[in-house]
Structure 1
Amino acid sequence: MLLRSTLVFSSAFLFAFPALAQNARIEGFTHAGSGCPVGTVAGVISPDQKALTVIFDQFEAQAGPGAARSANRAFCQLAVDLRFDPGWQVALFDATYRGFADLESGVQAMHETSYYFSGSPLTSGPLTWSMVGPFTDNFSRTDSFATTVWSECGTVRPLNIKTNLYVTNRLAPARAGVVTNDTTDVQVRIEYALMYRRCPSP
């Protein structure tokens, strides 16, 4: 029998701000999805507005005997409200996830994330990676983007992060697995991961 494991899952987005863009900050966020219904999500923005921690109570996917078929997928979309000088553009560079999964032999878990600015195409992806049981451990994964898509000049729009969790036991119907997203950390630092450039002159 599979014991449900607790997962601390963090995804860190490190934003790079040149000297002229250091007023960039996180104003807030909204959320929607089966993995983050109203009343199951808490968010805290740091005093300097450079970090956002989102805590989930129900972001879980599972499969196995007794589990509802609909339980094998959960998703949540965050819309992160960024503020920066509209004379600049921003593009996502990479994002790192850490977590835990408990999968019996033959059970597969998949993580899929799409990133895009409102009104713009996907940055790249969706980006997908998976694990196959037997697996009971922490994991770490970095999404890197082959295609750079810049935010629109002259306006500042939310960065959307849509994450899907899947678990399937199609190849091993008698076995079970679970993956849970407990927290997501979005951090703004003068380091890596978002790239900035000046908008071209009119």
Structure 2
Amino acid sequence: MKMHFPPALILGFASLVASVPLAAQAAPRGLRVVGASVLGSGCPYGTADVHAVDSNTAFEIRLSDYVVKTGPGTMASDWRKNCKLTLNLEYDSGFQFSTINADMRGYAFLPAGAEGQCLNTFSFTGAQGEVNYGINFRGAREGAFSLSANSDVVSWSPCGGSTAILNMNTQCSISPTKDRALIAVDRISSKLTVRVALQWRQC
């Protein structure tokens, strides 16, 4: 499995609240990826390419073997797939990171009467809660699909530290399983942004 990461990430700032002067905020020196792993039935070893894009503020997984299928000759392991990306991050203390603009693209073929679902989950280890969003497919349908999180969907890293583990998991399934149907995921991406912990925000 190929992984391409720069030694440091160059980050842009999100907009600050107008009442907090920019000069009062210190800038982080950088965000560094110290480890990454991809695991799951939808991304077996050698089938996922993880790399940084968009000036190193976003991550993308390109998948060559994430195929959910049903019908004659298939098994239970074909009816549901998942892929989990774990990123270990280091950064200056006093800042938080969030996920935004998460996106998944693929292709779906479902006959009449078949249903499919893809669900994405984002969370930071040690932080409370997680973000979930998904898409439901109903047959008959055939064609490309895109699943994107809206701008209100964010997951924040914990306060008070200088490391974070970002977990990104996607799972897709089809039912019933007697007819031929298919969901193929070819790309999962998520943008990271750094935001200054504002003075009024309690951590």
Fold agreement, TM-score > 0.5: yes
Question: What is the aligned-residue identity percentage?
Answer: 23
**RMSD across aligned positions (CA):** 3.1
- Give the count of matched residue pairs: 179
User: What 5-or-longer segments of structure 2 have no aligned partner?
Assistant: 1-10, 15-21
User: What 5-or-longer segments of structure 1 have no aligned partner?
Assistant: 1-14, 189-193
How far apart are the structure 2 equivalents of 1:28 and 1:49?
Answer: 15
What displacement does 1:195 show?
6.4
Q: Which has the higher contact order (CA 8 A, sep 6+)?
A: 1
**Alignment match of 1:17 (pick from 4, 13, 16):** 13
Identify the residue that residue 154 of structure 1 maps to in structure 2.
160
**Could you say what secondary structure the match of 1:57 adopts?**
strand
What displacement does 1:179 show?
0.7
* Cα 1:23–1:78 shift into 2, 3 Å: same
What displacement does 1:123 show?
2.5
* Cα 1:149–1:101 shift into 2, 3 Å: closer
**Could you say what secondary structure the match of 1:96 adopts?**
strand
What displacement does 1:84 show?
3.3
Identify the residue that residue 57 of structure 1 maps to in structure 2.
64
* Cα 1:64–1:139 shift into 2, 3 Å: same
**Alignment match of 2:80 (pick from 73, 84, 96):** 73
Matched, 1:196 2:195: yes
Matched, 1:33 2:40: yes
What displacement does 1:93 show?
4.4
Segment of structure 1 superposing worse, 91-100 or 143-152: 143-152
What amino acid maps onto 1:60 in structure 2? V
What displacement does 1:16 show?
6.0
- Structure label with greater radius of gyration: 2
**Could you say what secondary structure the match of 1:120 adopts?**
coil
How far apart are the structure 2 equivalents of 1:39 and 1:147?
Answer: 31
